[in-house]
């Protein structure tokens, strides 16, 4: 079987690290990188550190508004699909790369497999929510990570081809965690001690593109008085400069880090503050309290289980979470057993 995989952003690289490894043990895989994350630290380093096979195609799409970015991907992907004639197209998550990869395949009557199907934040203002829903409705195989995701699809009338395999990110975090313990020197490089800092990430467009929301986040981090380590996303850096904002001395701003160092920073933090979907889960996997600076989350299970607190961008709520949110209850096994990639391959083999 020839499987064509489309990736374009950091979370997708991490998921592909787990799934591509098992696919290539039995099948031919063509790997297409759309270039949605084009920054060296946001892209190439992930392929190198996670030992993902070099992409067969790199579309080099780069940044741009949603229509232009998605449209450019569709044009370039169509040429590749017609040349390679894959038996199946595999897409991950909820980015413009996800939607373009799935839509192009659907138009050419190529079956689509969607890894991480069924997630819903119920906020249609988020481009990611639109991408998720549209991709799910044109996919033949829907690999969901949780029971909640399965229920979401059922409510939308999607029951055929749905498989609860667990979360491939859990597979990846287990694997990368081992690499981090063996290879990461990030704590020494940044002069950090175990369990003495709060790890923070800010990158979501709804926060960075809104001056008020970003100002609240920056002020909350500054006024928390806690030692915070912030690998700064390029877009966030740009908007902080544009809005005339600045961090105080308790914030250690560092360049974006690769996946192994990021997992190491998460493992050794005392708490995590983020607006990232992936980092919320990684925090849960590592039993770290997570404060999520969003109004809703697609990972509702982490909130219901008491290990994730939604604060939106209310300054006082963020500060309160940083200072007071310390869950102690036992976690439930929500995201499977760390063998999602193998289960995906077994299901595809049956067909």
Q: Is 27 a catalytic residue?
A: no
Which of these ranges, 35-49, 59-73, 171-185, 253-267, has the smallest mean pLDDT? 35-49
How far is it, in rounded angstroms, from Cα 308 to Cα 331?
A: 11
Domain boundaries defined on the chain: 2-167+336-350, 179-324
pLDDT band at 351 (very low <50, low <70, confident <90, very high): confident
The reply to whether 179-324 shares the fold of 2-167+336-350 is yes
177 within 8 A of 214, measured Cβ to Cβ: no
Instruction: Please give the average per-residue pLDDT across 237-264, as a whole number.
Output: 95
Sign of the C-alpha dihedral computed for residues 263, 268, 274 and 278 taken in this order: positive
- Tens digits of residue pLDDT in 290-349: 999 999 998 999 999 999 999 999 999 999 999 999 999 999 889 999 999 999 999 999
Instruction: Please state which CATH class domain 2-167+336-350 belongs to.
Output: alpha beta
Task: Answer yes or no: is pLDDT of 44 > 80.
Answer: no
Cα separation, 53 vs 20, whole angstroms:
8
C-alpha closest to that of 16 among 139, 126, 136, 176: 176
- Which of 10 and 251 is assigned the larger pLDDT? 251
Q: Per DSSP, what are the bridge partners of residue 142? A: 114, 162
What is the distance between the alpha carbons of residues 112 and 87, in angstroms, rounded to a whole number? 9
Q: How many of the other CB atoms lie within 10 Å of CB of 79?
A: 12
Q: In what order do the strands lie in the sheet with 290-292?
A: 251-254, 228-231, 198-201, 271-274, 290-292, 308-310
Element (H or E) spanning 211, and its range? helix 211-224
For residue 331, the 8-state DSSP code is: P
Do residues 259 and 42 lie in contact, with contact meaning Cβ atoms separated by under 8 Å?
Answer: no
Q: What is the DSSP letter of 42?
A: G
**Radius of gyration (C-alpha) of the chain in whole angstroms:** 20
141 DSSP assignment: E
Distance (Å, whole) CA 87 – CA 2? 5
Given the residues 33, 37, 114, 203, the one annotated as active site: 203
| pLDDT tens figures, 184-210 | 999 999 999 999 999 999 998 899 999
What is the predicted pLDDT for the residue at 25? 93
**Residue 235 confidence (pLDDT) above 90:** no
User: Please, which pLDDT band fits residue 246 given cuts at 50, 70 and 90?
Assistant: very high
| pLDDT band of 106, cuts 50, 70, 90 | very high
Domain at 179-324, CATH homologous superfamily: Glycogen Phosphorylase B; (3.40.50.2000)
């Amino acid at each position: 079987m020839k499987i064509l995989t489309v990736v374009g952003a950091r979370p997708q690289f991490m998921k592909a690290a787990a799934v591509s490894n098992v696919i290539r043990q039995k099948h031919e895989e063509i790997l297409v990188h759309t270039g949605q994350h084009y920054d060296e630290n946001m892209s190439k380093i992930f392929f190198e550190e996670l030992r993902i096979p070099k992409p067969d195609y790199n579309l080099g799409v780069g940044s741009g508004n949603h229509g232009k970015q998605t449209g450019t991907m569709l044009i370039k992907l169509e040429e590749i699909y017609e040349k390679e004639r894959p038996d199946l197209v595999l897409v991950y998550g909820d980015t413009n790369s996800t939607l373009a990869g799935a839509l192009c395949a659907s138009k050419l009557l190529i079956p689509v497999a969607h890894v991480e199907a069924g997630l819903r934040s119920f906020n249609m203002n988020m481009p990611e929510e639109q991408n998720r829903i549209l991709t799910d409705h044109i996919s033949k195989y829907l690999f969901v990570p949780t029971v909640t995701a399965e229920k979401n699809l059922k409510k939308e009338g999607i029951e055929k081809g749905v498989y609860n395999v667990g979360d491939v990110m859990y597979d990846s975090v287990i694997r990368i965690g081992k690499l981090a313990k063996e290879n990461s020197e990030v704590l020494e490089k940044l002069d950090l001690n175990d369990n003495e800092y709060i790890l923070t990430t800010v990158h979501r467009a709804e926060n960075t593109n809104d001056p008020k929301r970003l100002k609240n986040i920056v002020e909350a981090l500054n006024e928390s008085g806690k030692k915070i380590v912030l690998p700064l996303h390029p877009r966030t850096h740009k908007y902080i400069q544009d809005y005339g904002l600045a961090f105080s001395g308790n914030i250690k701003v560092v360049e974006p880090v690769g996946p192994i160092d990021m997992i190491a920073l998460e493992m050794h933090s005392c708490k995590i503050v983020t607006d990232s979907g992936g980092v919320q889960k990684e925090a849960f996997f590592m039993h770290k309290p997570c404060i999520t600076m969003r109004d809703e989350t697609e990972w509702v299970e982490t909130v219901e289980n008491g290990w994730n607190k939604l604060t939106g961008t209310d300054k006082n709520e963020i500060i309160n979470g940083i200072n007071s949110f310390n869950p102690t209850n036992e976690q439930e096994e929500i995201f499977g057993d760390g063998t999602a990639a193998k289960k995906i391959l077994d299901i595809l083999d049956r067909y």
